[in-house]
């Protein structure tokens, strides 16, 4: 495993981190979840990402129990706040009330006194940013979180939050966006702003929900039990990639992966790690073998010729529109 600084902070994270968005507490049984975490630890992964909303808070609980007997100082545990975790009007968003209550719930479920990174899961248009950042500052100053991050924020939002963080003397060091060969909406605005401010990217869906693994074939139904067939497993996110044009072009990447001595999934993960602003790529797994396969992308260097060949194949289907950085559903 290779390690990188998270932005310009002193915190080191594993190049490949383990996330449990759609697995722990929902898609896979607890024994399998524990086995995947064990495989991640054995492979040298030290960075684990979750969120209070995943599986209705169950994902945090499963991860907390899976890591309970590990040396806490040797781990980087990340979680998030924003999405609803209860039926009440204040069980969501980035109000002071929800943030302060949510961090205590996350710490209890994760069985830890602090998280290394506490992230705003989306931008909250209904709460003043000053209120949100002041709540985050109190959490950092109380020792419940060491660093602050955001997820799927636009460049202008990151800049404004970073300025407030400096005034409040807290380290806002990361953004967690969707990023892959097929989804590059952060490249034109978010990445240059983040490089200027010292913010690193912790990217999710580097394999484009499994599409870049090559397992989905044009003109054929998705394999039984795959993510594209399971609404609980993010089928809505994968739908935008499930066109014959995309799937045909992805199949053309297979010879390039073979040339590099990589699986398709390894090539996809290695590709995002070529971006120097990416601190870590999040991978999930329902089986330990997937972890063992994915971690082989750590430390891989792709030469310029290979990167150019990839672009020539998929350029017509790549999404680059920076306005798609955030979820339209979160607009007021």
Which sequence positions are flagged as catalytic? Answer: 54
Q: Which residues lie below 8 Å from residue 201, measured CB to CB, with a gap of 6+?
A: 174, 175, 176, 177, 179, 186, 190, 191, 194, 275, 277, 278, 279
Q: What is the β-pairing status of strands 172-175 and 145-150? A: parallel
Residue with tokens 């190049």: 15
Helix (H) or strand (E) holding 14: strand 12-14
Residue with tokens 């994760």: 110
Residue with tokens 């998705």: 222
Residue with tokens 């609803």: 84
- Copy the structure tokens of residue 97: 């009330």
End-to-end CA distance of the chain: 42
CA distance 120 to 140: 14
CA distance 111 to 115: 10
Q: In this structure, what DSSP letter does residue 9 have?
A: S
CA distance 107 to 93: 18
Q: What are phi and psi of 171, to 5 degrees?
A: -90, 105
CA distance 228 to 209: 8
CA distance 162 to 172: 6
3-class DSSP assignment, residue 78: strand
Question: To 10 degrees, what angle do helices 155-168 and 190-197 make?
Answer: 20
Residue with tokens 């419940």: 144
């Amino acid at each position: 495993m290779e390690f990188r600084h998270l932005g310009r902070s002193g915190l080191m994270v594993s190049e490949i981190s383990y996330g449990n968005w759609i697995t722990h507490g929902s898609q896979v049984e607890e024994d399998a979840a524990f086995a995947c975490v064990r495989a991640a630890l054995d492979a040298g992964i030290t960075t684990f990402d979750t969120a209070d909303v995943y599986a209705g808070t169950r994902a945090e609980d499963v991860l907390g129990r899976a890591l309970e007997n590990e040396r806490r100082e040797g781990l980087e545990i990340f979680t998030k706040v924003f999405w609803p975790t209860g039926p009440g009007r204040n069980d969501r968003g980035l109000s002071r009330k929800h943030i302060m209550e949510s961090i205590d719930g996350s710490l209890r479920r994760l069985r830890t006194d602090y998280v290394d990174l506490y992230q705003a899961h989306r931008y909250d248009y209904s709460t003043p940013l000053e209120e949100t950042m002041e709540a985050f500052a109190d959490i950092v100053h109380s020792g419940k979180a060491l660093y602050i991050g955001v997820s799927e924020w636009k460049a202008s939002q990151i800049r404004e939050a970073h300025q407030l963080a400096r005034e409040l003397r807290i380290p806002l060091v990361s953004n967690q966006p969707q990023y892959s060969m097929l989804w590059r909406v952060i490249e034109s605005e978010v990445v240059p702003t983040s490089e200027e401010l010292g913010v690193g990217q912790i990217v999710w869906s580097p394999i484009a929900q499994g599409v870049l693994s090559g397992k989905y074939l044009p003109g054929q139904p998705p394999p039984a039990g795959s993510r594209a067939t399971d609404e609980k497993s993010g089928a809505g996110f994968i739908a935008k990639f499930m066109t014959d044009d995309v799937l045909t072009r992805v199949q053309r990447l297979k010879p390039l992966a073979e040339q590099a001595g990589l699986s398709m999934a390894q090539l996809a993960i290695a590709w995002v790690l070529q971006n120097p602003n990416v601190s870590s790529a999040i991978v999930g797994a329902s089986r330990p073998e997937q972890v063992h396969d994915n971690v082989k992308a750590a430390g891989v260097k792709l030469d310029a010729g290979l990167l150019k060949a990839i672009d020539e194949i998929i350029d017509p289907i790549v999404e680059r529109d920076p306005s798609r950085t955030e979820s339209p559903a979160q607009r007021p």
